[in-house]
Structure 1
């Protein structure tokens, strides 16, 4: 009887990435689909990997796992029985052989030119199918946020858009739309990395996304990318770079044509000004954001990504960030309560972030009991273990211990 060895390496990798068994199964299936295969991995499959019942997955699953975690399969705790481990060079040779064999096979069966053209023609229907997948991805991002799976899925969608570019004939309109899709998907990967505090990866996604956006000629996606860059530098506490990046976004034509974009640009500028300690600039830009949002045509046609999150609740949330940075805790608390009261259902990640900020605002005013109660309300569900939320709760505990080291409430928090 062969002893079953629990796969601790895979378990640790999943914990680091914040992945559940079902989420890992979905991520692997996405990689399989993007590679042209059917996705048949379930949470039971993942459970077999974790318990050691399956010690060496199928080759396609191994390739997909490597893509999800961006590391060799052996680093995930999998071991091949019997024959020695296949080397990286062997795998590369095998892949080249398969590709070459496929090429030879294709040349033996000529396809009529008209059939080839029809098969390789790319149209707006292909773009629509990509955007439908993107809608699902955006919904998952706002539900969970910061997950490595979301970052990987967004990157895979960008690759799918670019593969359509290379596949065959398309009009210039379709080509521009595909570049816009690729830029938008890469921007989502960038945001997931920012949200998960994987800042080096976010910078790489930004470099690629900005190039793709330039090729698309779409100022809407250019706005998103440069606005994300402003948020990236704000999280890195580089306010000068953040203001410069956000100014690029605010100067784009879309910010002049559509007041919703103008409002978002002003609101994010206010959050950055909070880091500089400029209270006057914070109040002024928040005022501009509010005025623009009130002037906006709410029935206007806009991309799914901005419709999914930006409204009065998000404006108030950015105001919370700005006033917390300034140390204006009463104003921060008021905006936090307003944001939570207006927040749309389903934005679980956003709700957790605002609640963590509310706890900081209450603590800053010396209201220990409500602050601890607010913070403790966050420590019970998976979404509350989001990297940004976890960092804010760690900071909250440190501030609480500094403010009231001997308080029973501090002891209660530490025990909790």
Structure 2
């Protein structure tokens, strides 16, 4: 009810009282239900799709923030059951976690940490372990990219201690694969290799059981391609170039069509693994297949390709492939 409606209603009630008449019946307060939750959740798949296509965009981050605020606003819009309130908190936490991931992928780590605090606070009121896992698993990735393996280890352990990890081998597999990348960032080769072996075993266990209603965000991206992508990243960190290249080829061979952002990142990493093995021509050829949109606009890919170019010039300064690569970069920037 807006201010004008409220004022008109007050005048009508006052007039009726003066005339000795009973005031009009006041309508019952609004009740917030699962249909309201469903309406808020409708946009979540769009956010996930935007992330897979573009990744790291400020627009995705801002849209996720607005949707989180919309979910929280419904908490004060009327009466609701505890089930509905928990679902609204879960929806808000999901959107905050997407805002956090967009900021991580866009290298806006200060904003990502702010989103983490909001997401964790709201998730704690939702009772939704799946979204709690997503938040803390993302936090582990954030700290790994920030060069803080200790904090990354602690955050990912929070995710992996949740009961849903014991119940569902897909969550167990994702937690282990991300921990493998964290071990690699800390320089622990044996722990990384062990984690990836266990992640693959957990993934194969999941294929023998029924799907217990896993969330859309998990089903949209996690599979063997993602395990290989994380392994490639880990082995690059450890300087195990041949192993990284092998996992890169496996990742790209099984990556689903909608994973545009992941394909750009995996291709860039594959090029780096080839370059470090002295395969200069193959590396440049691979790097030039990164789509121009990602190469020019995705902050993470832009940084990785800049690092690739600098390393290329260092490894083979007089190679004609350096000239080819530099011309390609200029063309992308124009």
TM-score strictly above 0.5: yes
Question: CA 1:335–1:106 in 2, change beyond 3 Å: closer, same or farther?
Answer: farther
Count of residue correspondences:
315
The aligned residue for residue 239 of structure 2 is 327
Q: Give the C-alpha shift of residue 405 in structure 1.
A: 1.0
Q: How does 1:113-192 map to 2 (within 5 A)?
A: 113=26, 115-117=27-29, 120-192=30-102
Question: Partner of 1:391: helix, strand, or coil?
Answer: helix
Instruction: Tell me, in whole angstroms, the C-alpha distance in 1 between the residues paired with 2:28 and 2:294.
Output: 49
Question: CA 1:217–1:395 in 2, change beyond 3 Å: closer, same or farther?
Answer: same
Instruction: Tell me, in whole angstroms, the C-alpha distance in 1 between the residues paired with 2:113 and 2:285.
Output: 37
Scaled by the length of structure 1, the TM-score of the pair is 0.73
For CA contacts below 8 A with separation 6 or more, give which structure has more relative contact order: 2
Question: CA 1:410–1:246 in 2, change beyond 3 Å: closer, same or farther?
Answer: same
Q: Give the C-alpha shift of residue 381 in structure 1.
A: 3.1
Instruction: Tell me, in whole angstroms, the C-alpha distance in 2 between the residues paired with 1:383 and 1:406.
Output: 24
CA contact (8 A) 2:57 2:106 kept: yes
The aligned residue for residue 232 of structure 1 is 142
The aligned residue for residue 332 of structure 2 is none
The aligned residue for residue 324 of structure 2 is 412
CA contact (8 A) 1:352 1:384 kept: no
The aligned residue for residue 340 of structure 1 is 252
The aligned residue for residue 96 of structure 1 is none
Q: How does 1:60-75 map to 2 (within 5 A)?
A: none
Residue 289 (structure 1) aligned to one of 189, 199, 202: 199
CA contact (8 A) 2:294 2:301 kept: no
Q: 2:224 aligned with 1:312, yes or no?
A: yes
**RMSD of aligned alpha carbons:** 1.7
CA contact (8 A) 2:52 2:260 kept: yes
Question: Partner of 1:179: helix, strand, or coil?
Answer: helix
Structure 2 regions of 5+ residues with no counterpart?
14-23, 329-334
Structure 1 regions of 5+ residues with no counterpart?
1-98
The aligned residue for residue 215 of structure 1 is 125
Question: Partner of 2:56: helix, strand, or coil?
Answer: coil
The aligned residue for residue 17 of structure 2 is none
Question: CA 1:205–1:102 in 2, change beyond 3 Å: closer, same or farther?
Answer: farther
Instruction: Tell me, in whole angstroms, the C-alpha distance in 2 between the residues paired with 1:182 and 1:374.
Output: 40
Q: Give the C-alpha shift of residue 127 in structure 1.
A: 1.1
Instruction: Tell me, in whole angstroms, the C-alpha distance in 2 between the residues paired with 1:108 and 1:268.
Output: 63
Q: How does 1:2-401 map to 2 (within 5 A)?
A: 104=7, 107-108=10-11, 112-113=25-26, 115-117=27-29, 120-296=30-206, 297=209, 299-378=211-290, 380-382=292-294, 385-401=297-313
Question: CA 1:396–1:382 in 2, change beyond 3 Å: closer, same or farther?
Answer: closer
Scaled by the length of structure 2, the TM-score of the pair is 0.90
Question: CA 1:102–1:197 in 2, change beyond 3 Å: closer, same or farther?
Answer: farther
CA contact (8 A) 1:397 1:413 kept: yes
The aligned residue for residue 57 of structure 1 is none
Question: CA 1:248–1:108 in 2, change beyond 3 Å: closer, same or farther?
Answer: farther
Question: CA 1:403–1:183 in 2, change beyond 3 Å: closer, same or farther?
Answer: same
Question: CA 1:105–1:195 in 2, change beyond 3 Å: closer, same or farther?
Answer: farther
Question: Partner of 1:216: helix, strand, or coil?
Answer: coil
Instruction: Tell me, in whole angstroms, the C-alpha distance in 2 between the residues paired with 1:107 and 1:353.
Output: 61
